[in-house]
């Protein structure tokens, strides 16, 4: 890239409040407290959180738009964030599950965009948890390298602290999925899982937790996960999710706190 192009790009990132991507080795805060790279706040809970600086320019290709201010999509996420936060605060809750009826309807993209948008609010710390055990994808979409994740914690092979990653976005912490586990429903039903999910949800009262999950109609996982959620957002894909899918989903989630639907892939 020419010097002029570099300077223009730098000015654009600075204008939009986006930190410049850094190259080089992954950093780990070992004995220090966690210092998000662009934040002056110190959150003492993330003592061992790894910091991996992601390439913000590639996020747009993955439809992670809410990192940029001043566009129609990020405005939609700001509206969604406001509605979700006001409801959670009203109820004194902190935990949201993003689910949908079928695969590929846009759950993970929605979960990441909402998490980024929530973390951009100055007073929120957000933990984004990849609990799609069969096809974890948050690390791939964000461009994070993942050694371990939630599945390793559930299998007793890692601790939560060892697996958390700060992607260089203030107040956002990602718990990646880890290696895929085929018998996830059995593991999800175990007492160890219950302890870990309670820990994620309850250890830090001022932290919001967003769970990305597998599709409801494809496995029992999301239904089990929904027991831990204070609020459920249902992703519905335009021109694909059928009425019958939604009726089945509604029946499965009967009595659970579904707070709204998010319509994805709508054509102008
Ligand atoms: N609002 C949207 N508009 C257009 N395309 C979208 C939207 N949300 C997601 N997509 C695209 O749809 C595809 C599936 O998205 P995503 O991975 O978020 O869905 P998912 O429901 O989590 O899928 P999976 O079942 O594989 O976990 C991706 O190519 C993504 O870029
Ligand atoms: Mg997904």
Q: Is 177 in the pocket of ligand 1 (CB under 6 A)?
A: no
According to the model, what pLDDT value does residue 40 have? 32
**Beta-strand relationship, 95-100 and 207-212:** parallel
7-16, 54-63, 177-186, 205-214: the lowest-pLDDT one: 7-16
According to the model, what pLDDT value does residue 33 have? 29
Question: Can you point out the beta strands (E) in 7-145?
Answer: 27-28, 50-51, 95-100, 125-130
> Is pLDDT above 90 for 203?
no
Q: Is 99 in the pocket of ligand 1 (CB under 6 A)?
A: no
**Mean of the pLDDT values across residues 35-53?**
54
For 31-43, what is each residue's pLDDT tens digit? 222 222 333 343 4
Residues whose CB falls within 8 Å of the CB of residue 138, separated by 6 or more in sequence, listed in order: 108, 111, 112, 128, 130, 144, 174, 176, 177, 212
> Is pLDDT above 70 for 53?
yes
Distance CA 165, CA 148 (A): 10
* pLDDT band per the 50, 70, 90 thresholds, residue 230: very high
Q: For the chain, give the mean pLDDT.
A: 85
Ligand 2 centroid to 215 CA: how many Å?
A: 8
Beta-carbon-side half-sphere exposure of residue 102 (alpha carbons within 13 Å) = 15
What is residue 50's three-state secondary structure?
A: strand
Residue nearest to atom 14 of ligand 1 (CA): 104
Which mutation among 77, 108, 137, 235 tests ligand 1's pocket best, with the greatest number of atoms within 8 A of CB?
108
Q: Is 63 in the pocket of ligand 1 (CB under 6 A)?
A: yes
User: What are the chain's domains?
Assistant: 3-264 (3.40.50.300)
According to the model, what pLDDT value does residue 1 have? 52
* pLDDT band per the 50, 70, 90 thresholds, residue 220: very high
**Mean of the pLDDT values across residues 165-176?**
95
Ligand 1 centroid to 106 CA: how many Å?
A: 3
According to the model, what pLDDT value does residue 3 have? 57
According to the model, what pLDDT value does residue 133 have? 93
Q: Is 103 in the pocket of ligand 1 (CB under 6 A)?
A: yes
* pLDDT band per the 50, 70, 90 thresholds, residue 10: low
Which mutation among 107, 108, 109, 110 tests ligand 1's pocket best, with the greatest number of atoms within 8 A of CB?
109
**Nearest to residue 204, comparing CAs of 106, 112, 94, 115?**
94
According to the model, what pLDDT value does residue 90 have? 95
Among all ligands shown, which has an atom nearest to the Cα of 264? 1
Q: Is 237 in the pocket of ligand 1 (CB under 6 A)?
A: no
**Mean of the pLDDT values across residues 182-208?**
90
* Ligand 1 atom nearest to CA at 266: 3
Q: Is 230 in the pocket of ligand 1 (CB under 6 A)?
A: no
Residue nearest to atom 24 of ligand 1 (CA): 104
According to the model, what pLDDT value does residue 70 have? 75
**Mean of the pLDDT values across residues 79-91?**
95
15-19, 157-161, 209-213: the lowest-pLDDT one: 15-19
Share of the chain above pLDDT 70, in %: 82
Distance CA 140, CA 149 (A): 13
Kindly give the interhelix angle for 72-91 and 107-119, rounded to the nearest 10 degrees: 80
According to the model, what pLDDT value does residue 19 have? 53
According to the model, what pLDDT value does residue 73 have? 85
> Is pLDDT above 70 for 129?
yes
Residues whose CB falls within 8 Å of the CB of residue 147, separated by 6 or more in sequence, listed in order: none
Which mutation among 60, 61, 63, 218 tests ligand 1's pocket best, with the greatest number of atoms within 8 A of CB?
63
Residue nearest to atom 8 of ligand 1 (CA): 106
Q: Is 100 in the pocket of ligand 1 (CB under 6 A)?
A: yes
Q: Give pTM, 2 decimals.
A: 0.85
If you count them, how many residues does the chain have? Answer: 268
* pLDDT band per the 50, 70, 90 thresholds, residue 18: low
Residue nearest to atom 25 of ligand 1 (CA): 103
Distance CA 91, CA 171 (A): 22
For 92-122, what is each residue's pLDDT tens digit? 999 999 999 999 999 999 999 999 999 998 7
Structure tokens at 259: 């707070």
According to the model, what pLDDT value does residue 68 have? 81
Structure tokens at 237: 């894909």
Please identify which residue in the block is written with the tokens 């990441």: 112
Question: Can you point out the beta strands (E) in the chain?
Answer: 27-28, 50-51, 95-100, 125-130, 165-166, 172-175, 207-212, 231-237, 258-264
């Amino acid at each position: 890239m020419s010097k002029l192009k570099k300077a223009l790009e730098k000015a654009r990132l600075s204008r939009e409040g986006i930190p410049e991507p850094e190259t080089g080795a992954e950093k780990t805060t070992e004995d220090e407290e966690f210092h998000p790279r662009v934040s002056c706040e110190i959150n003492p809970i993330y003592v061992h959180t790894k910091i991996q600086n992601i390439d913000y320019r590639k996020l747009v290709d993955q439809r992670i738009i809410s990192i940029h201010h001043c566009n129609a999509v990020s405005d939609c996420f700001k509206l969604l964030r406001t509605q979700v936060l006001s409801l959670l605060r009203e109820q004194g809750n902190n935990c949201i599950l993003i689910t949908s009826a079928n695969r590929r309807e846009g759950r993970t993209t929605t979960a990441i965009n909402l998490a980024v948008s929530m973390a951009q609010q100055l007073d929120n710390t957000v933990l984004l948890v990849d609990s799609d055990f069969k096809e974890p994808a948050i690390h791939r979409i964000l461009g994070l390298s993942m050694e371990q994740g939630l599945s390793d914690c559930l299998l007793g092979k890692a601790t939560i602290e060892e697996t958390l990653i700060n992607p260089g976005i203030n107040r956002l912490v990602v718990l990646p999925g880890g290696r895929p586990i085929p018998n996830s429903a059995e593991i999800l039903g175990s007492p160890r899982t219950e302890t870990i999910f309670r820990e994620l949800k309850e250890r830090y009262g001022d932290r919001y937790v967003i769970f990305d999950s597998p599709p409801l109609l494809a496995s029992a996982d999301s239904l089990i996960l929904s027991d831990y959620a204070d609020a459920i957002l249902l992703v519905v894909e335009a021109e694909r999710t059928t009425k019958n899918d939604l009726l089945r989903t509604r029946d499965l989630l009967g009595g659970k706190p579904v707070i709204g639907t998010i319509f994805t892939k709508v054509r102008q």
